[in-house]
Structure 1
């Protein structure tokens, strides 16, 4: 069965349908990772987006029960050059087509994904719709052009009630803006007592849980659409150590008086080099974001740049000069991707331990 991708600029790609039979629209983006499609499909940061994978053959190792980043995927569609029907991996339980059918996610294969990627790189991310061959192209294009990007993605993917992943170590309140399970796993691996709370939890409610530290998770969309998070971070700074990842990094910057902006086509992939500005060392990182902190807006704030992207010079890490707080734009939990920056979780644990020692010394 054929299916078409209709873009807001009027471009149409026709290919073979797989996954769900339903139609779906969203922001069309691309990811350059060669592996990790299962983590990409289940990453809440892709809420409302149709993801194009640039690697030509997807699904070789199937879908397994261990590599999900969330229980309920929120991606709106998948576009690939070719999807494997018969995967080869001992952990595999199903192929990608079956998984997408179960989750109600439409897929499209057999189109020129290189052409689509170059189109996005030239013009920026575009709204698009995975539609049946019977759909009227002109009507779809008109609707896409007149439909604004949604502003409630974080609300869609965040937990609605707090829950706990018990540990006997330091207590970390993990604010869920679209949490990847890999982040919670890294904290649990360090024996942290993790309490996950909704995106709109107040600073007062967080402090009532008596945390040793607060982690701000990744998540989808524009950070300015989450004013609750910005206000919460403002009130938390100086109270407890803070570590932010991706959207959490952007919310931290906004809370400290900096500004963010939408990127032309974002960073999405598992091979992005990032330079540590103190050591000069370069780590390979996993990234997934469409917004960035404006470097010029950091002037006059108490924030210092700790990391920069090697490819385009964008801000990839910040620290507060007065408070025990730091953030990164990339994903140190490496799900999927390289584990070069996994040590940042150890840095966070050390920061919490040092903070406790200082409090005890002054008690």
Structure 2
């Protein structure tokens, strides 16, 4: 008997395996299994997006995290290959309140439940995600585990011990785990651009979403996507007009290699743009510290003020760490050779640094996601800002070369 003809009473009688969400402070939420059955461990975080759950799940920045979806109804539009931000689901686990029994959308190619099972992602449904979110807001993001099926029947002290034994997100080095294995090139022609590329950039992939190179390609920019451990020398050999560092998971305090990579390019005067992890890398390259936020910023409704224009943007965010830089005025970078810097963007919720802009070198970054596929798109102008920055420095370099040639000719 199909779902369409099965009596409602019979549907409710379908037996689902028990599941538990256990937090490191001992709080337990009881529900039923969703997706694959078994055990998964990670950091419990919540995201406030009301749409775009597929982009969220396939965002590499969620590696080793259990996503609590605050929107109550999940899975109603199904899944499709076009909306994936990477080649797989990176979230360690998924926590939802009301999982859709069947999708209803003309673009759907399958159900979310089936996809979670196919990729072995353990989840839980039927829990009060509002209560979980309030708990995480009060206590902070924390270690957690989802246990379903027969694993949920194990003694609770044993399950709590497993949660506590896992490593913390503080000190986690994850970018190399989610990065590409080998370089590849995204050409503007692949995304509708007609004509030759106007610029070529190198992009260090620390967990980059697929929409990022697409946004550059739409504007005529060729992107060389490079693994997270690429050396400065190998990237420099590509003779880029600009450098980009992507979003990604883990603790920026562990990213010494990427910080050294960026410092070499900044010292050479190559224009730079960073997103999310790329903002934290710029902060560290300039000599600032980073720190872990209590529960992070995750969702599509985060208000940010651009201090250069006074405009407020509604942004998509996904980060648990932030840059520790002075909020007021212009300051000299602790790494003095890079000159002056100021905090260009701030969060209107909690005054966290959301962007950095350098005054003496061509570099800026933001903590949020202007490429957000599911929206909002308030910050898409940042790609154009980077193109203008590269154009101005190409022009300055050409004028310098002309002046040098004229000087040689006069001699």
TM score, norm. by length of structure 1:
0.97
Please say if residues 266 and 291 of structure 1, whose CA atoms lie closer than 8 Å, have aligned partners that are also in contact: yes
Give me the whole-angstrom Cα distance separating, in 2, the residues matched to 1:19 and 1:269. 22
Residue 134 (structure 1) aligns with? 153
Residue 115 (structure 1) aligns with? 131
2:257 is the alignment partner of 1:225: no
2:64 is the alignment partner of 1:26: no
Give me the whole-angstrom Cα distance separating, in 2, the residues matched to 1:213 and 1:300. 23
Give me the whole-angstrom Cα distance separating, in 2, the residues matched to 1:210 and 1:97. 45
Please say if residues 187 and 194 of structure 1, whose CA atoms lie closer than 8 Å, have aligned partners that are also in contact: yes
Please say if residues 297 and 318 of structure 2, whose CA atoms lie closer than 8 Å, have aligned partners that are also in contact: yes
The Cα offsets for residues 323-353 of structure 1, whole Å up to 9 and x where unpaired, read as 1000000000023321000010011111111
Alignment equivalent of 2:224, drawn from 188, 195, 212 = 195
1:237 counterpart SS class: helix
> What is the Cα deviation at residue 300 of structure 1?
4.0
Alignment equivalent of 2:66, drawn from 50, 53, 59 = 50
Residue 294 (structure 1) aligns with? 324
Residue 242 (structure 1) aligns with? 272
> What is the Cα deviation at residue 299 of structure 1?
5.0
Residue 352 (structure 2) aligns with? 314
Give me the whole-angstrom Cα distance separating, in 2, the residues matched to 1:43 and 1:210. 29
Give me the whole-angstrom Cα distance separating, in 2, the residues matched to 1:86 and 1:140. 32
Root-mean-square deviation (CA, aligned residues, Å) is 1.3
1:249 counterpart SS class: helix
Residue 39 (structure 1) aligns with? 55
Residue 211 (structure 2) aligns with? 182
TM score, norm. by length of structure 2:
0.86
The structure whose Rg is larger is: 2
Which segment is superposed worse, 138-147 or 284-293?
138-147
Residue 60 (structure 1) aligns with? 76
Unaligned 5+ residue runs, structure 1?
none
Give me the whole-angstrom Cα distance separating, in 1, the residues matched to 2:143 and 2:47. 16
Q: How many residues align?
A: 363
The Cα offsets for residues 31-77 of structure 1, whole Å up to 9 and x where unpaired, read as 00100100000000000000000010011111011111101221101
Alignment equivalent of 2:239, drawn from 210, 214, 231 = 210
Give me the whole-angstrom Cα distance separating, in 2, the residues matched to 1:273 and 1:64. 29
Give me the whole-angstrom Cα distance separating, in 2, the residues matched to 1:110 and 1:299. 50
2:363 is the alignment partner of 1:325: yes
Which segment is superposed worse, 124-133 or 281-290?
124-133
> What is the Cα deviation at residue 24 of structure 1?
0.5
2:379 counterpart SS class: coil
Residue 174 (structure 2) aligns with? 153
1:321-360 correspondence to structure 2 within 5 Å: 321-360=359-398
Please say if residues 326 and 343 of structure 2, whose CA atoms lie closer than 8 Å, have aligned partners that are also in contact: no
Give me the whole-angstrom Cα distance separating, in 1, the residues matched to 2:123 and 2:89. 14
Residue 295 (structure 2) aligns with? 265
Residue 336 (structure 2) aligns with? none
> What is the Cα deviation at residue 278 of structure 1?
2.1
The Cα offsets for residues 294-318 of structure 1, whole Å up to 9 and x where unpaired, read as 1349954132111111111111111
From the superposition, tell whether residues 162 and 319 of structure 1 become closer, same or farther in structure 2 (CA, over 3 Å).
same
